[in-house]
Structure 1
Amino acid sequence: MAPDPTPAAPALDDPEAVAPVQDPVASGHTDPEAVAPARERAAEAARRLDRTKLLAARLKAAGGQPYLASALYSLTVVPSLGVPTMGVDRHWRCYVNPGFVEATPVHELAAVWVHEVAHLLRDHHARAALLVPGYRHDHQRVNIAQDCEINDDLSSLPSGAMRPEMFGLPDGQLFEQYVPGIPAGHRHHECGSGAHGRPQPWESSDAARVSPVEAAAIRRQTAQELRAQAKARGRIPAGWRRWADEILQPTVDWRRALTGAVREAASWASGAVDYTYQRPSRRGAAVPRVVLPSLRRPMPRVAVVVDTSGSMGDDELRAVLGEVAGVLRAVGIGRNRVAVLACDADVHAVRRAATVGDVVLAGGGGTDMRVGIDQALKGPERPHIVIVLTDGYTPWPEAQPGQVRVIAGVIGEGGDDPPSWIETIRIPLETGAVGR
């Protein structure tokens, strides 16, 4: 269950406020030579940790930003000599180095508390898993970008904290937008699997944890507390206001929606099993002089109709096409089964595109996507799925073209909604190159 919206702060000497010494055997360290030293290190970390100072810093953080109190008091403190400073795992455990606590003033520790819980509230580990592989596997780079997203709203952090201006980047962006601007190979302390998603050696497996359902409830409760305070006082950092709006009024990630739509349509198309004599059935040997047909499962064919009218920008189109290509690859549709048609009021180019760079975005006149859809259906190989990328300012066919599934990716917020038989996905104009 999610904690009470306004939990009472535990006493600074509350035994429940800090996790007990971790048992290395319970954590999976069964090597007899490793168990004793691990136990000794865990006991030493617990003995050295200044609990009063650490929990005073959490109390200060909750007092300064009361809308974060529920989340802050949901963290389980785990003393550790392995973590360089402080870090979190995806189960809402906060690992704390006693030496770092000793060397850091309370007001800076309070900011670090807010920093660490922000990784979890903003679901950084789940978002990191949606990055394209070239960025997703560079955990240091991702972690630095995540720190930049958080720290532009924080003051009083210890020296050396990552901020956007250190890389010539503007404040107020999401970490997905920061990643391309972070130099590869830049090293910094990692914040744990609660940030970039990769478990660290110092993370435990047996301390108290917060379940995904509880975490979702904590995020929503925190967003509600934040919005209530914003209405009462109005002084909330911009990054937190944006986060609360996203939690309470979520927008569907168009990439996920498109992937789901294409996957479902592809499954439907490949399920249309039919008989064929091109490859006779192996069971025919049991029936002399009779040729039995075999069952054939068709591979889905896709046509992508691209609106190249004057209202569409080439950069936006290429960015979206790149995302669509990734979606098709993700659902197992090879590039040799995808035809791309450039269309305004007429079809100007039709080709099978191996890469986004092969697509010819000719046109620039009026807009009528009906022409492109019709041309796609008249091709030598009738598609099972037609994906239309447009800004929405176009007429649409009056009825569904037979058994063909039509998916519209409408770029921007303009234009009328397509007919109900077309699955419609709105694509924001801010589509970035990083992807998710």
Structure 2
Amino acid sequence: MTTTGTPSSTLDLGKLFAARLQAARARPYLATALFALHTVESRQVPTMAVDRYWRCYVSPAFVARTPVEELAGAWVHEVSHLLRDHHGRSDRVARQRGLTGPGERLRMNIAADCEINDDVYGDGLARPKGIVYPSTLRLPSGELMEDYLRQFRLGPRTQDLAWLDCGSGADGLDRDWELGPDGAHGLSGQERDAVRFRVARGIRGRPGSASKGWKRWAEEALHPPQPWRELLGAAVRSAASGPGAGEDYTYGRPSRRSAGLPGVVLPSLRRRPPRVSVVIDTSGSVSDAELGSALLEVAAISRAVGGRRDLVTVLACDAATRVVHPLCRAEGIPLLGGGGTDLRAGFAKALSSRPRPDAVVILTDGQTPWPTAQPPCRTVVGLFPRDHRRGSWDEDDPDHVPDGPPAWARVVEIG
């Protein structure tokens, strides 16, 4: 996608739709989404842009000067913003990090482009000139928008991208030229969810043709939204942002009270990003499906603390605690175990790490002894469901029911 040129009088729909057909042939698992977009002619967009209601705004001049092969890639690029919910994610990041103004939204658009462009082109789709890749900003490939957003600022490397505007569907900021929620041909929330679900099923049905990024997206899209995820995320945010959590003294910004003590420099209390340690119960009583669900919860926990995966560590624990893994990608964390359960070892390992976590999250079925003393940080327990009446708690004593989580832990039932 390139910058605008000489305006064309009319939009060449034949060329535009031929490019969409070529995009669907190159990425058949995205065909449902591509044909769900409603096109709107617009001379106010540089190239092509989308709003959150699945309208695609198209510049006639851009279509006139761009080869069909490159237009096909533009179709896939724009629909990728919508499928990956870049508008919703940008809104959440803006709220969490206090990002305001068009400059920050341009950064979000650039970061979103970095997430999808290393997935879009090649394998039947031409690579146009002038688009932004992670390598353009000297950043690693394969990361998410939230990660890229932390790693660059507007400056010399981004000055050639000032024209970039993929619409509110890419960064969440409504444009004057968009039709808005009451305009014609927009998709309802239910219709948008249905499109995403069908695309995700298509990707799962063609495991050999989709990239790793799209497979990961499909796995998350097909995992049904559950009320416990919102509760767990809220509990983690509350634990990580409570009084004392993530707070420390620093001389980097002296206290204002220093003025009352000439010659004495007092430190100020500053809040740093909270650290979270996740302990996953890998004992024999936890099923493979529950372990898979636990990894999805780990990704949700990372989002709950602002997407800083470098601040989340994961421990696998049965009767002994395994190696502590920093959270890079959830699918790369080995969950070893299979014996009995003693999460006291997990607590001890988590609390012995340096720097110490501000919150500990335990994902378990509850068949474990608990620490007798309250840990010096907040604790959230995610409990996998168990039916005590079936005697599944102890083969030697079917009537035995272990103690529940202690009162000092925030408990959220999973499932």
Answer yes or no: same fold by TM over 0.5.
yes
- How many residues align structurally? 280
Counterpart Cα distance in 1 of 2:74 and 2:49: 9
Larger radius of gyration: 1
Counterpart of 1:373 in structure 2 is 374
Counterpart Cα distance in 1 of 2:142 and 2:304: 29
Residue 344 of structure 1 and its aligned partner are, at CA, apart by: 3.9
Counterpart Cα distance in 2 of 1:251 and 1:107: 37
CA contact (8 A) 1:92 1:209 kept: yes
1:118-137 pair list within 5 angstroms:
118-131=80-93, 132-135=96-99
Amino acid at match of 2:379: I
CA RMSD across the alignment? 4.6
Matched, 1:144 2:147: no
Counterpart Cα distance in 2 of 1:303 and 1:199: 38
1:235-384 pair list within 5 angstroms:
235-249=209-223, 256-261=230-235, 318-320=274-276, 344=348, 370-373=371-374
Counterpart of 1:41 in structure 2 is none
Counterpart of 1:160 in structure 2 is 130
* Identity fraction in percent: 41
Counterpart Cα distance in 1 of 2:236 and 2:376: 20
Residue 153 of structure 1 and its aligned partner are, at CA, apart by: 1.2
Counterpart of 2:146 in structure 1 is 176
Counterpart of 2:166 in structure 1 is 191
Counterpart Cα distance in 2 of 1:360 and 1:69: 43
Counterpart of 1:208 in structure 2 is 185
Counterpart of 1:79 in structure 2 is 41
Counterpart of 1:288 in structure 2 is none
Q: Which runs of 5+ in 1 are unaligned?
A: 1-44, 266-300, 305-316, 329-342, 349-355, 362-367, 377-385, 391-396, 408-421, 426-436
Amino acid at match of 1:208: H
What TM-score comes out, normalization by structure 1 length? Answer: 0.54
Match of 2:205 among 221, 228, 231: 228
Amino acid at match of 2:174: P
Counterpart Cα distance in 1 of 2:409 and 2:381: 11
Counterpart Cα distance in 2 of 1:219 and 1:109: 22
Does the C-alpha gap of structure 1 residues 136 and 219 become closer, same or farther in structure 2, counting only changes over 3 Å?
farther
CA contact (8 A) 2:234 2:304 kept: no
CA contact (8 A) 2:111 2:146 kept: yes
Q: Which runs of 5+ in 2 are unaligned?
A: 1-6, 246-272, 278-299, 306-346, 361-368, 383-401
Residue 262 of structure 1 and its aligned partner are, at CA, apart by: 7.2
Counterpart Cα distance in 1 of 2:228 and 2:137: 29
Counterpart Cα distance in 1 of 2:244 and 2:370: 13
CA contact (8 A) 2:33 2:79 kept: yes
CA contact (8 A) 1:406 1:423 kept: no
1:47-58 pair list within 5 angstroms:
48-58=10-20
What TM-score comes out, normalization by structure 2 length? Answer: 0.56
Amino acid at match of 1:83: V
